[in-house]
Structure 1
Amino acid sequence: MAFEGLAERLQSTLSKIRGKGVVSEADVKAMMREVRLALLEADVNFKVVKDFISNVKERAVGQDVLKSLTPGQQVIKVVNEELTKLMGGEQSKIAVAKKSPTVVMMVGLQGAGKTTTTGKLANYLRKNSNRKPLLVAGDIYRPAAIKQLETLGNQLNMPVFSLGDQVSPVEIAKQAVEKAKEEHLDYVLIDTAGRLHIDETLMGELQQIKETVNPDEILLVVDAMTGQDAVNVAESFNEQLDLTGVVLTKLDGDTRGGAALSVKAVTNTPIKFAGMGEKLDALEPFHPDRMASRILGMGDVLTLIEKAQSTVDEEKARELEKKMRNADITFDDFLDQLAQVRNMGPLDELLGMMPGANKMKGLKNIQVDEKQIGHVEAIVRSMTKAEKQDPTILNASRRKRIAKGSGTSIQEVNRLIKQFDEMKKMMKQMSNMTAKGKKKGKFKFPFM
């Protein structure tokens, strides 16, 4: 989970003040000392920390907060709002040129994931705004960079513009824009060269590309796990190229969070996207308010809903709802739902988006074993069609066959069948409560 260490420290600190009926100025100062240490340990820029603490203190010790009916909650609200403000305040969307194509330069150092992020961004634009992007292989120096982008293009079934490694990147970018105009494509995503460090040659070339194609966006790709170094890189690139946005990669790792909390304040450049995994659909728009809520353990319901809407089949969901009402769910339905949930992303990440999940017993430090979920799928897939439809026929010999066919134990098969039976009983009870409630006019089943 992103910001894991920082989130735990902040949530622990804020929990001491959350339920207090009376909060003194001394309480606020003591809390802010701990918050300051947590931010510095997370590799947040020192000046950023100083300004943040000063802003929170000034607001938190005000009469409106300390004299309110819920001062503890009010202080946490102030911290949440200041964290949101620190990361940009509101979502900064990617530009759309008045006249197509919209040209986007992807810049950054080697190793930050620039080429992969270029592919992810193209996939995001096509999927979420129905745009037609063109990938441009502008990195002629790194061995296999062109091949890597072409491979991504094949995986995404998306056009890639390349002139090989003997033509200058400036000329490649220029011809790519012309090609996009001819073919009425909406976006030109130029994967430029990177270096292990910033040098004059690199910057000179990037400035030439900028002057030639006049990009609508210059997005810097930085590795969030490099902490303060990522902010220093952003500052250098911004000084010479006038960046329009930042993409943070590896934000799904156990990152300390310093880059995400510092980059906007230091460079005044918004974070536009965050890479949340290896897959080509693992790129999310960066929402400062949602990220602040996640850091403070308040969940991120909106992102959870968006993930569900993009992956769950509505017709199947309605069909399943009817079956759940009648407690008529089968193992086929169970398997289908499991697949749809897994498409939403890693389960421990989804749990982290649930409000209060950090306080739920057994969920705080949960590690979802994807291998175990694979076992469950294997067990169900080893059943015959009749067995999936009617689990009551699963006698001892059938269970033994299923265990052997799925590479699991009889105990695992028995456990799954028992859990499935209990789930159906619970659905039946809920359905009965609905029927009684309807007669009395007091209870309404959540789906109805």
Structure 2
Amino acid sequence: MFESLTQRLSGTIERLRGRGRLSEDNIRESLREVRIALLEADVALPVVQALIERIKVRAVGQEVLKSLTPGQALIKVVRDELTTVMGAQTSELNLNVPSPAVILMAGLQGAGKTTTVGKLAKHLKERRKKKVMVVSADVYRPAAIEQLQTLAKQVDVIFFPSDLTQEPEAIVRAAIADARKSFVDVLIVDTAGRTSIDEAMMAEIKALHGAVDPVETLFVVDSMTGQDAAVTAKHFSDALPLTGVVLTKTDGDARGGAALSVRYITGRPIKFIGVSEKPDGLDVFHPDRIASRILDMGDVLSLVEQVEQQVDKDKAQKLAEKVAKGKKFDLNDMRDQLEQMQNMGGLSGLMDKLPGVGKLPDEVKNQITGKEVPRMIAIINSMTKKERRNPALLNGSRRARIARGSGMTPADVNKLMKQYQQMEKMMSKLSSGGMKGLMRGMKGMMGGRGGMPFR
């Protein structure tokens, strides 16, 4: 998300960063570029106008013009105002109510509502340590109930059965009664997709809301629809007392206009964003971190949290002990590391959170397709157990066989082996020289040639 906006804004900001002094003229010129960048990113016009005006008021004041580093000061102003437009602070779910806390999910058809119910259930179970039940009140889409049942099984939460002959209100009342008996902490209710112009369907969800009195009413909206997402959310917020918004499919939205528009237009906070199709592809929305990513400052805090949650700590501990004992880092260990990287979204998922990525040349960024890590794993999987344990066995004929088995070329196998050798050298530095040895090894890797792993 935000690739095009980041490119435009980081270029504008970079030109200002090193300037000894700023004048109203060059600030005005820079803000014109910021305005164009926001409009091209499909940010709603009222949001662009308000944002530019707020930046302008602060930028031509004492805060920037009298600063020792005016370029840096202006960057801070832009970052602060982007954060404010998106909501200033992270908005948590309010679950501090008698059990079960009912969360009602509303949204358009095809916005990813049912999938989001599964992701939210997993999030609450694993990160908030809640006992979760899900129920479908969608009696219009034939496969909706079965889809939710499958997702509930995938993420290991309780599924309350329903069928197409029941009334939505009756389904949810029965689910609440069962949740109380089962000591469930949170009940998530999936509803039928509807449009704001479908009066009968809107009346139904209003009645459902009145009957169950949910503690949270979340509107699920597809970020790919750009500023239309904010307009649709506004229609729903006028009809329902929404407590927040979930933006889905942000991994496919290079512009990011919806994230900048929704809060301002609806007055409702963005609580979560869908970052992938996987069950764990739902992130809490942090306005300050998103603002940093837009300005190409990265999002290291989210990256650290992601590593904390998704890295297999047992495997990491075993590898650390193995290296500390001076045992050789082999291709089985490399495959484990690659699989963990893939769980975190692969190279593209990690790069999205690293500072300075916007400044990389397009030819480098274009090489990162998301297929690099799976291809490397496929090559290692095409080796025998003996070859993985003892990479020195891999002569020319064996490498040719591995290339055929994995659908790659011998050159791809050679690239992988070069990367393995660099990693192995880094691990041996760690065992012999502790953290200083590791830093020397990493410096050697970063300075090495060879380009990106796989195109």
User: Deviation at 1:234?
Assistant: 1.0
Q: Is the 8 A contact 2:108 2:193 kept in 1?
A: yes
Cα deviation per residue 1:164-195 (whole Å; 9 max; x = unaligned)? 11221111111111111011111111111222
- 1:358 matched residue in structure 2: 358
Q: Is the 8 A contact 2:223 2:253 kept in 1?
A: no
Structure 1 gaps of 5+ residues are: none
Cα deviation per residue 1:319-373 (whole Å; 9 max; x = unaligned)? 4345556483111110111111111113212112111222346786244244443
Q: SS of the counterpart of 1:316? A: helix
For 2:66 and 2:175, the matched residues in 1 are separated by 62
For 1:294 and 1:286, the matched residues in 2 are separated by 12
For 1:77 and 1:386, the matched residues in 2 are separated by 55
- TM (norm. structure 1) is 0.91
- 1:377 matched residue in structure 2: 377
- 1:420 matched residue in structure 2: 420
Distance 1:427 1:281, change over 3 A: closer
- Structure 1, 224-233 or 367-376: larger mean CA deviation: 367-376
Report how many residues are paired: 440
Structure 2 gaps of 5+ residues are: 443-455
Structure 1 residues 26-105: aligned runs within 5 Å: 26-105=25-104
User: Deviation at 1:290?
Assistant: 0.7
Q: Is the 8 A contact 2:64 2:74 kept in 1?
A: yes
2:123 is equivalent to residue 132 of structure 1: no
For 1:33 and 1:339, the matched residues in 2 are separated by 44
For 2:407 and 2:49, the matched residues in 1 are separated by 57
- 1:316 matched residue in structure 2: 315
User: Deviation at 1:267?
Assistant: 1.4
For 2:239 and 2:300, the matched residues in 1 are separated by 39
- 2:116 matched residue in structure 1: 117
Cα deviation per residue 1:113-167 (whole Å; 9 max; x = unaligned)? 1111111111111111121211111011123222222222232233222331122
For 1:275 and 1:23, the matched residues in 2 are separated by 39
Q: Is the 8 A contact 1:246 1:270 kept in 2?
A: yes
- 2:160 matched residue in structure 1: 161
Identity over aligned pairs, percent: 48
2:343 is equivalent to residue 343 of structure 1: yes
2:249 is equivalent to residue 250 of structure 1: yes
Distance 1:98 1:361, change over 3 A: same
Structure 1 residues 16-31: aligned runs within 5 Å: 16-31=15-30
Q: Is the 8 A contact 2:134 2:152 kept in 1?
A: yes
- 1:410 matched residue in structure 2: 410
- Structure 1, 314-323 or 352-361: larger mean CA deviation: 314-323
- Structure 1, 407-416 or 297-306: larger mean CA deviation: 407-416
User: Deviation at 1:265?
Assistant: 1.1
Structure 1 residues 161-310: aligned runs within 5 Å: 161-310=160-309
For 2:78 and 2:9, the matched residues in 1 are separated by 10
Distance 1:169 1:335, change over 3 A: same
- Structure 1, 207-216 or 34-43: larger mean CA deviation: 34-43
For 1:233 and 1:349, the matched residues in 2 are separated by 29
- TM (norm. structure 2) is 0.90
Amino acid at match of 2:335: L
Q: Is the 8 A contact 1:136 1:191 kept in 2?
A: yes
Q: CA RMSD in A?
A: 2.4
